[in-house]
Chains A and B, each alone.
Chain A
Amino acid sequence: MIARLVGSAFAAAMMAACIHPSVAATPEVVQVGSKKFTESVILGEMLAQVIEAAGNPAYHRRELGGTRVLWGALLKGEIDVYPEYTGTLRQEILAAENLGSDAELREALARRGLRMTGSLGFNNTYAIGVSGDLADELALTTISDLRAHPGLVMGFGNEFMNRADGWPGLRAHYRLPQENVRGLDHDLAYRGIASGSLQVIDLYATDAEIAYYGLRSLQDDQGFFPVYDAVLLYRADLETRLPGVVAQLQRLAGRIDAATMAGLNARVKIERHAESAVAAEFLRSRLGLHAVGDVTSVWQRLARHTLEHLLLVAISLSAAILVALPLGILAARRPRLGQSILAAAGVLQTIPSLALFVFMIPLLGIGGPPAVVALFVYSLLPIVRNTHAGLTNIPLAIRESAQALGLPAPSRLRLIELPLSAPTILAGIKTAAVINVGTATLAALIGAGGYGQPILTGIRLDDIGLILEGAVPAAVLALAVQGVFEATERLVVPHGLRLEQTTGC
């Protein structure tokens, strides 16, 4: 456990230094990934613990956005293994290849340097669910029965909403007439159906909530949904790099049936045990492994998230200052070029922050570096714009007086122009810093940790406490940053300028 704590702190520090942890550490740390839903996180924990129980260090990069993020990270070697479903591989990732049998699937994976274990023992296919009351009232037992009720309000997880084997395919296959269909976070769908604002939602066969909310799965009477056997997907080179590890992974195959998985999910989502503890408990009782789940205290988590968040903000903001200040000066010196610089920085700012993080994945993968780059890009505009405004708003009489004295341009900049624009430039940096602290909470989506991590987990587990564990420190940090800059302002802004604010002349 100590090893993993150190490992994760190390990973956080390394990610800041843009060094891949598995490169720097000996013995090699196995990088385990998981998607941002409970089942995947539990399986990811199991993987990490199984590997560790065999004496090999492992690091679990939990809750990494969606399928594409994990798949890309696996291909790039940023992670070594993650839990996946055969249906997702066939219907989504490798849809273009029309793979039939498992043998064909294995062959297609092998061409990419990947392998998969046998089924873990359950088929977590999609299902369509309605509340028990509604099922009784409208006599709904099959998906075909939905055709007779076009007015039903449907809410589907964003992934289901968009993928070919999700709603678009289902609607075409069953010729469903419903128009009132919303895309939302899968975890919010349950709350929607409980509150009555939704009537039909998508489910996974092993969802913990099915029994909890008294939902009924409608029978897939026309056989639309493909098989979604859970498997472990890993890099083929793992077999040569760490043969023992692959043998450990194979031990999980066939050991978890759908009821067991739903039970584990319920232990986490409904009984609110930590994924690591639930995974350890399973490994002890079913595999007789001496597995230990890290159970971190609130303070340990807070310390780690604070460190991660501060690193993200500090690195991206410092880099942004180093780049934006000269750009702002250049923009003020060369008005034509300046217009283009300001316009370009403005365009970057209009990219929605979430999209910016996701754009970084193909370029830089997952984790700290892409998050730092995205935050850096986001911090440029306020600094460039304020530097430019500060410099160009210096009264002509003052600028010319400095020129007429015979001061060379660099000295004018240092002695006159920068001190005079210091309040404006600082205000720009302050704005950038506050935006940066807030936006950095999204970095957790691409595996960079920070205060966004508990927020993400909290939304997934419907746990307000966890959401606050991220949201409150993030807000406090934003206020603290603001305070620091206000104090800096008192130090940096020349006394003669502060008179202006009080005398107003």
Chain B
Amino acid sequence: MLELTQVSKRYGSTAALAATDLMVPAGQTTVLIGPSGCGKSTLLRLVAGLVRSDSGSIRVGGTTVTPENLDVVRRRMGYVIQEGGLFPHLTVRRNATLMAEHLKWPAARIEQRLRTLTEMVRLSPELWPRYPLELSGGQRQRVSLMRALMLDPDLLLLDEPLGALDPMIRFELQRELKSIFDRLGKTVVLVTHDIAEAAFFGDRLVLMREGGIVQQGSLRQLAAQPAEPFVERFISAQREPVRLLNEVLG
């Protein structure tokens, strides 16, 4: 579904991403995890075309991304970031439907899709006329997800979508998100620095460090056969998550 070949990105003297290969299989959730500054967001932003790579190529669903086809490819991806990035001057409804309107979807189709998504993210239609500043953090992330899903994209990119929420809401949304992903069967790439969350969502974890990929696999594999001492250190550093981890691993 998503394939990175020797993709790299430098900012001045820092290599935000060293030449990296990555295969993201279709229909699964792949979680990018690693310490702060290791290049998780950079990788995601390269895929969304928000920054240009210095080298390498990115293929989405078999198409190599170029500046010319970028906007078209983007319409097959949904992108959600930590702060939501909602447009403050547009209502919930317009935030979600903006792109569909731009593509001149018939009104009935837009309405239909909006209803489906509102139900899916468990938002009340009463919130449609509200502005982002009139919503709670959790509600904003739900709207953000609706906006990303509006065009029914093949690929969902989520950069710490729950990072800004308090633990209770976060817990609730984790569960809901996961059930949505499972139901839709989409290809999801999700960034988190919380290993418990990673394990909860991820069929596959991609552990990164200083602009490179250290190891890929299930959490079980990472824990059992760490490729480097760093992998072990990273896992055991998260004491509290490990407790949750045990819960998930059973």
- Which residues of A come within 8 Å of B, CB atoms? 395, 397-398, 400-408, 411, 415-416, 419-420, 494-497, 499-500, 503, 505
Query: In the bound complex, do residue A499 and residue B131 qualify as a contact, i.e. CB atoms below 8 Å apart?
Result: yes
Q: A398-B87, A411-B102, A505-B133 given as contacts; is B50 within 8 A of A403 (CB)?
A: yes
**Shortest CB distance A489–B (Å):** 14
Query: In the bound complex, do residue B49 and residue A407 qualify as a contact, i.e. CB atoms below 8 Å apart?
Result: no
Query: In the bound complex, do residue A497 and residue B83 qualify as a contact, i.e. CB atoms below 8 Å apart?
Result: no
6 pairs, A vs B, C-beta closer than 8 Å: A395-B85, A400-B50, A403-B74, A405-B74, A405-B98, A419-B89
- Which residues of B come within 8 Å of A, CB atoms? 45, 48-50, 70-75, 77, 79, 81, 83-91, 98-99, 102, 131-134, 147, 157
Query: In the bound complex, do residue B88 and residue A398 qualify as a contact, i.e. CB atoms below 8 Å apart?
Result: yes
**Shortest CB distance A92–B (Å):** 61
Q: Which of A400, A408, A496, A500 contacts B90 (CB 8 A)?
A: A496
What is the chain B residue whose CB lies nearest that of A416?
A: B87
Q: Which of B70, B77, B86 contacts A401 (CB 8 A)?
A: B86
6 further A-B contacts with Cβ under 8 Å, apart from A406-B70, A408-B71, are A395-B85, A407-B98, A415-B102, A416-B89, A499-B88, A500-B133
**Shortest CB distance B25–A (Å):** 22
Query: In the bound complex, do residue A401 and residue B88 qualify as a contact, i.e. CB atoms below 8 Å apart?
Result: no
Complex Cα–Cα for A406 and B71 (A) = 4
**Shortest CB distance A420–B (Å):** 6
Contacts of A505 in B (CB 8 A): 133
Q: A404-B48, A407-B99 given as contacts; is B88 within 8 A of A496 (CB)?
A: yes
Contacts of A503 in B (CB 8 A): 133
**Shortest CB distance A332–B (Å):** 17
What is the chain A residue whose CB lies nearest that of B99?
A: A405
**Shortest CB distance A167–B (Å):** 63
Most B-side CB within 10 Å, residue of A395, A406, A495, A497: A406
Complex Cα–Cα for A496 and B90 (A) = 6
Q: Which of B45, B77, B89, B157 contacts A494 (CB 8 A)?
A: B89
**Shortest CB distance B68–A (Å):** 12
Contacts of B102 in A (CB 8 A): 407, 411, 415
Query: In the bound complex, do residue A496 and residue B131 qualify as a contact, i.e. CB atoms below 8 Å apart?
Result: yes
Contacts of B86 in A (CB 8 A): 398, 401
Interface residues of chain A: helix, strand, loop or mixed (majority): helix
Contacts of B91 in A (CB 8 A): 496
Query: In the bound complex, do residue A397 and residue B89 qualify as a contact, i.e. CB atoms below 8 Å apart?
Result: no
Contacts of B133 in A (CB 8 A): 496, 499-500, 503, 505
**Shortest CB distance A408–B (Å):** 6
Contacts of B72 in A (CB 8 A): 406
Q: Which of A404, A415, A416, A419 contacts B79 (CB 8 A)?
A: A404
Contacts of A420 in B (CB 8 A): 87-89
Most B-side CB within 10 Å, residue of A402, A407, A496, A505: A496
What is the chain A residue whose CB lies nearest that of B44?
A: A404
Q: A397-B81, A406-B75 given as contacts; is B131 within 8 A of A495 (CB)?
A: yes
Contacts of B83 in A (CB 8 A): 395, 397
Contacts of A403 in B (CB 8 A): 48-50, 74
Contacts of A406 in B (CB 8 A): 70-75, 99
Query: In the bound complex, do residue B71 and residue A500 qualify as a contact, i.e. CB atoms below 8 Å apart?
Result: no
Contacts of B45 in A (CB 8 A): 400
Query: In the bound complex, do residue B85 and residue A401 qualify as a contact, i.e. CB atoms below 8 Å apart?
Result: yes
Complex Cα–Cα for A366 and B49 (A) = 55
Query: In the bound complex, do residue A402 and residue B87 qualify as a contact, i.e. CB atoms below 8 Å apart?
Result: yes
**Shortest CB distance A491–B (Å):** 14
Contacts of A415 in B (CB 8 A): 98, 102
Query: In the bound complex, do residue B98 and residue A401 qualify as a contact, i.e. CB atoms below 8 Å apart?
Result: no
Complex Cα–Cα for A402 and B157 (A) = 14
Contacts of A397 in B (CB 8 A): 81, 83-85
Contacts of A408 in B (CB 8 A): 71
What is the chain B residue whose CB lies nearest that of A405?
A: B99
Complex Cα–Cα for A398 and B81 (A) = 10
Contacts of B134 in A (CB 8 A): 499
Complex Cα–Cα for A419 and B87 (A) = 10
Query: In the bound complex, do residue B89 and residue A496 qualify as a contact, i.e. CB atoms below 8 Å apart?
Result: yes
Most A-side CB within 10 Å, residue of B77, B102, B132: B102
Q: Which of B73, B89, B147 contacts A497 (CB 8 A)?
A: B89
Nearest 5 pairs between A and B by C-beta? Answer: A401-B85, A406-B74, A494-B89, A496-B131, A404-B79
Contacts of B87 in A (CB 8 A): 398, 401-402, 416, 420, 496
Complex Cα–Cα for A416 and B102 (A) = 12
Contacts of A404 in B (CB 8 A): 48-50, 74, 77, 79, 157
Complex Cα–Cα for A109 and B158 (A) = 83
Contacts of B90 in A (CB 8 A): 494, 496
Query: In the bound complex, do residue A497 and residue B88 qualify as a contact, i.e. CB atoms below 8 Å apart?
Result: yes
Query: In the bound complex, do residue A401 and residue B81 qualify as a contact, i.e. CB atoms below 8 Å apart?
Result: yes
Contacts of A405 in B (CB 8 A): 74-75, 79, 98-99, 147
Contacts of A494 in B (CB 8 A): 89-90
Complex Cα–Cα for A403 and B75 (A) = 10
Contacts of A416 in B (CB 8 A): 87, 89
Complex Cα–Cα for A307 and B89 (A) = 38
**Shortest CB distance B62–A (Å):** 18
Most A-side CB within 10 Å, residue of B49, B70, B131, B134: B131
**Shortest CB distance A236–B (Å):** 65
